[in-house]
Chain A
Amino acid sequence: MGAEYIVEMRNINKSFYGAKVLHDVNFKVKAGEIRGLLGENGAGKSTMMRILNGIYSKDSGQIFVDGVEKHFSLPKDARDAKISFVHQEIALSGNLTIAQNMFLGLEKTKGKYFVDDASMRESAKASLESLNLNLDVDTLVGTLSVAQQQMVEIAKALMQDAKVLVLDEPTAALSEKEVRFLFRQMRRLKEKNVAVIFISHRLNEIQEITDSLTVLRDGRIIADGVPTQGLGSEEIIAMMVGRNVTQFYGSEKPHGTDEVVFEVKDLTNPVLDHISFQLRKGEILGFGGLVGAKRTELMSAIFGLDEIDSGELFLDGKKIVNKNPKQAIQNGFGLVSEDRKRNGLILVHSIARNLTLNVTSSFIHGIHYDKAKEKSIVDEYGNKLSIKMTGMEQLCQYLSGGNQQKVVIAKWLASNPKVLIMDEPTRGVDVGAKSEIYQLMSKLTSEGISIIMVSSELPELINISSRIAVMHEGKLSKIFEEEELARYGTDDLQKEIMFYATGERE
């Protein structure tokens, strides 16, 4: 004890294959501090944290823990120095119990070979209790919710009496309510004098929970330990991207015309409860709500992926049926799914293959394969969305998240939709690409495409949508019209939306 900083990284340098990823990085955190770590994808956040965790070795520089210099060559070394790491993807085995998971690889033994279950259950229980988690240590992890699993991960990390806890995008898969719970736990840890390093792409979360910020850009520290209080989103974004992003969300919200393009009347199935709404030409209709509000399910039903028990769809005033995705596409719908790796892309295929998947029959007739036409389609949309690629034959698995998302959007644009449904269009996308996607959406509406956007990020929902629909447990609880939106300030609007999303108002 006694050192001013619990962790200090001094002049850390790191290169991969000759490319320098970290330049003289200096990073200091005090005990009992919640530190936000920010930067675009590829800025070097993960590399830096992996060095701190002993997964990567540094080329040069020093690491001090509580004032003592440490040399980490394995994750175990970091663990022994009381630094714990919760990775972005949950690394638990669903078929094992909570206690078994918490001691995976660290099993306590009786004698040399025999597992000491009783003592492990005891310790696991104590660890859960310290987080005020009311869970039975014999529960199978597979039966827990994502948030609960995350808590088990954190309990596991804290079990070794950690002084520093690194959380890498812990909120990516959590609902708003679960995020609240996580934040409460983080504050509790702060009281216990644990330093928490919090990595997130969501600015509102960073602003809410962190005491101070570290911003990385292109492998360099732009700011370290700046107090979060008083910093606006614009300032933070400007630090991250190194340019002034006054127009982060696009110049102006699209307004749309009075013409109704698409109408849903009384749509019902086992998870959807009599949903009706109208979509106007050239607008972005945002869908807000908590995770589990069945927004994705509504989009699946509209797109013909899920069955409909009753209700009608009208396109340009005419009744239509979307029995399956094929029919939906023919009717002029597109669906950018929330999970691009699972439903949006074929990762082992090239950009060209992915981008033209919906329009293959426009350049292949029978056995006549018009390669030039295929290329012109890829060029057109590649340019329109400024997809960064080494060539059209590059495989999608080697693209960054932002570029992958652009390929998915391009694929749907190529099929020339009237109604484009975008489910969490900027999930897992870095700030720069996010802004590009917003601008693209705005441009598309000006070209006459109507967009339905599902978003769990309130700032995005508020700043992008022409109108906002809010869902709660399969019901549409409110539609905010443009005039209403204009009336509220941002904070009030967030509160209003949350009222309807949580079902407190209907």
Chain B
Amino acid sequence: MGRKNNKIKNLFNGVGGAFIALIVMVVVLCVFTNTFATRLNLVNLLKQITCNCLLSFGLTCCLITGFPDLSVGSHVALATVEVCMYQNLGLSLEVSVLLTLIVGIIIGATNGFIFSRTEMPAYIVTLAMQNVLRGIAYVLTNGGAVIVENDVDRKFFNLANATILNWIPYSTLVLLVAFLIINTLLRRTVFGRHMYAVGGNSSTAIYSGIDVKNIRMIVFTISGFLASIAGVLTASRVYSGQPTTGVGFEGEAIASAVLGGVSFTGGVGTLSGSLIGILIMGVMSNGMNLLQINYYWQLVVKGIIILVAVYMDQVKRSKTK
């Protein structure tokens, strides 16, 4: 029992404040709305956080390794377009999804290749890629949405919208699997250790014989792969390919990770922490919708909460010195 407690404590190490904030938000919403704690809303919440959750998992890997990936928002848009267009070309759903994911891996690897070989700053490389991907999405669709013409048995629709026993969306299972794999990667593998080392001090990592370029490339590839999954599920949820979607998603994904204690300067953070950050962002959006707060004001509130959270984290860090 003691050992188990300890494990739980470790899991939430350093994100106690964020965890309490999450609980407070949930309690407040339960008290002040009669819609929050309903099956319909909770299922909806799970569907809503799917995209940000996958992107944020990717960004957690990137930030721990010491750089951001700003291309993920546009990447989601392109992937939604891709997965719909492939089906309209007559390919089966399975092949369409597979192709989208392969392209996602290629995009991520391209980011990683350019960054690791040229040593241009990652945010410049991925900012450029953000424009390229968004541009391609527009070119492919001429700026309009893509509707899937022949969705056999609504299989495509069901990807993100069907639920198990009316409670758990299938897409949530994807999140669960992604969490387990990435969490294991970070906590229990040599590769994960090396990610932290590269993010903590890349020069020291080089002196220790760690292949820094390779690690950066693989981590970008992971981020690209997760973004393409996020795109496929988003396309299913809105049941179309949307070249205009995903604007600012990278910001929300980074904010979730940082809220959960991932350091912006690299080398520090946990996936469980990020998960708490993701839930905070998700519950906050959901709650403000339920409280019928104007969307424009929601953006203002989100921004301020991020500032406060990061500031508190910084205060805590400087105290331990």
Minimal beta-carbon separation of B245 from chain A (angstroms): 35
Q: Would you list 8 pairs from A and B whose C-beta atoms are within 8 A, ordered by A residue?
A: A303-B207, A343-B206, A344-B207, A346-B205, A357-B208, A360-B193, A364-B193, A367-B189
Interface residues of B (CB under 8 A from A): 184, 187-190, 193-194, 196-197, 200-201, 203-211, 263, 265, 267-268, 321
* Residues in B neighbouring A361, C-beta threshold 8 A: 190
Interface size class of A (residues with CB under 8 A): 20 to 34
Minimal beta-carbon separation of A394 from chain B (angstroms): 11
Binds B, one of A109-117, A217-225, A320-328, A493-501: A320-328
Q: Are A343 and B187 in contact (CB under 8 A)?
A: no
* Residues in A neighbouring B208, C-beta threshold 8 A: 325, 329, 357-358, 411
A203: interface (CB < 8 Å): no
* Residues in A neighbouring B189, C-beta threshold 8 A: 364, 366-367, 369
Q: Are B209 and A329 in contact (CB under 8 A)?
A: yes
Q: Are A364 and B203 in contact (CB under 8 A)?
A: no
* Residues in A neighbouring B321, C-beta threshold 8 A: 397-398
* Residues in B neighbouring A360, C-beta threshold 8 A: 190, 193-194
A147: interface (CB < 8 Å): no
Q: How distant is the Cα of A346 from the Cα of B194 in the complex, in angstroms?
A: 11
Minimal beta-carbon separation of A413 from chain B (angstroms): 14
* Residues in A neighbouring B205, C-beta threshold 8 A: 346, 357
* Residues in B neighbouring A329, C-beta threshold 8 A: 208-209
Indicate whether A343 sits within 8 Å of B204 (C-beta atoms), given known contacts A349-B267, A369-B188. yes
* Residues in B neighbouring A328, C-beta threshold 8 A: 209
Q: Are A346 and B201 in contact (CB under 8 A)?
A: yes
Q: Are B197 and A346 in contact (CB under 8 A)?
A: yes
Q: Are B190 and A344 in contact (CB under 8 A)?
A: no
Q: Are A349 and B209 in contact (CB under 8 A)?
A: no
A353: interface (CB < 8 Å): yes
Q: 8 Å CB contacts to B: which residues of A323-372?
A: 324-330, 335, 337, 342-349, 353, 357-358, 360-361, 364, 366-369
* Residues in B neighbouring A96, C-beta threshold 8 A: none
Q: How many A-B residue pairs have CB under 8 A?
A: 77
Q: How distant is the Cα of A329 from the Cα of B209 in the complex, in angstroms?
A: 7
Identity of the chain B residue whose Cβ is nearest the Cβ of A358 in the assembled complex: B208
Minimal beta-carbon separation of B52 from chain A (angstroms): 26
A305: interface (CB < 8 Å): yes
* Residues in A neighbouring B184, C-beta threshold 8 A: 367
Choose among A337, A364, A366, A368 the residue that contacts B207 (Cβ–Cβ < 8 A).
A337
Q: How distant is the Cα of A325 from the Cα of B205 in the complex, in angstroms?
A: 10
Top 3 A-B pairs ranked by shortest CB distance?
Answer: A326-B209, A346-B200, A325-B209
Minimal beta-carbon separation of B206 from chain A (angstroms): 6
Q: How distant is the Cα of A335 from the Cα of B209 in the complex, in angstroms?
A: 11
Q: Are A364 and B190 in contact (CB under 8 A)?
A: yes
* Residues in B neighbouring A330, C-beta threshold 8 A: 209
Q: Are A305 and B190 in contact (CB under 8 A)?
A: no
Other than the known A328-B209, A329-B208, what 8 A-B pairs have Cβ atoms closer than 8 Å?
A343-B207, A346-B197, A346-B201, A349-B196, A349-B197, A358-B208, A367-B188, A367-B189
Q: How distant is the Cα of A455 from the Cα of B211 in the complex, in angstroms?
A: 29
Choose among B194, B200, B207, B268 the residue that contacts A335 (Cβ–Cβ < 8 A).
B207
Q: Which of B184, B187, B196, B204 has the most CB of A within 10 A?
A: B204
Minimal beta-carbon separation of A86 from chain B (angstroms): 26
Q: How distant is the Cα of A343 from the Cα of B187 in the complex, in angstroms?
A: 24
Q: How distant is the Cα of A342 from the Cα of B204 in the complex, in angstroms?
A: 7
Q: Which of B189, B196, B207 has the most CB of A within 10 A?
A: B207
* Residues in A neighbouring B206, C-beta threshold 8 A: 305, 325, 343
Q: Are A348 and B200 in contact (CB under 8 A)?
A: yes
Q: How distant is the Cα of A411 from the Cα of B201 in the complex, in angstroms?
A: 15
* Residues in B neighbouring A364, C-beta threshold 8 A: 188-190, 193
Minimal beta-carbon separation of B261 from chain A (angstroms): 13
* Residues in B neighbouring A346, C-beta threshold 8 A: 196-197, 200-201, 204-205, 267
Q: Are A348 and B263 in contact (CB under 8 A)?
A: yes
Q: How distant is the Cα of A303 from the Cα of B321 in the complex, in angstroms?
A: 35
Q: Are A358 and B197 in contact (CB under 8 A)?
A: no
Minimal beta-carbon separation of A73 from chain B (angstroms): 24
Q: How distant is the Cα of A327 from the Cα of B208 in the complex, in angstroms?
A: 10
* Residues in B neighbouring A397, C-beta threshold 8 A: 321
Minimal beta-carbon separation of A100 from chain B (angstroms): 28
* Residues in A neighbouring B188, C-beta threshold 8 A: 364, 367-369
Minimal beta-carbon separation of B99 from chain A (angstroms): 30
Choose among B187, B209, B263, B267 the residue that contacts A324 (Cβ–Cβ < 8 A).
B209
Q: How distant is the Cα of A361 from the Cα of B190 in the complex, in angstroms?
A: 6
Q: Are A326 and B211 in contact (CB under 8 A)?
A: yes
Q: How distant is the Cα of A347 from the Cα of B203 in the complex, in angstroms?
A: 12
Q: Are A358 and B209 in contact (CB under 8 A)?
A: yes
Q: Which of B187, B196, B200, B211 has the most CB of A within 10 A?
A: B200
Minimal beta-carbon separation of A83 from chain B (angstroms): 29
Minimal beta-carbon separation of B268 from chain A (angstroms): 6
Q: Are B187 and A348 in contact (CB under 8 A)?
A: no
Identity of the chain A residue whose Cβ is nearest the Cβ of B317 in the assembled complex: A348
A77-108 contact mask (Cβ, 8 Å, vs B): 1 or 0: 00000000000000000000000000000000
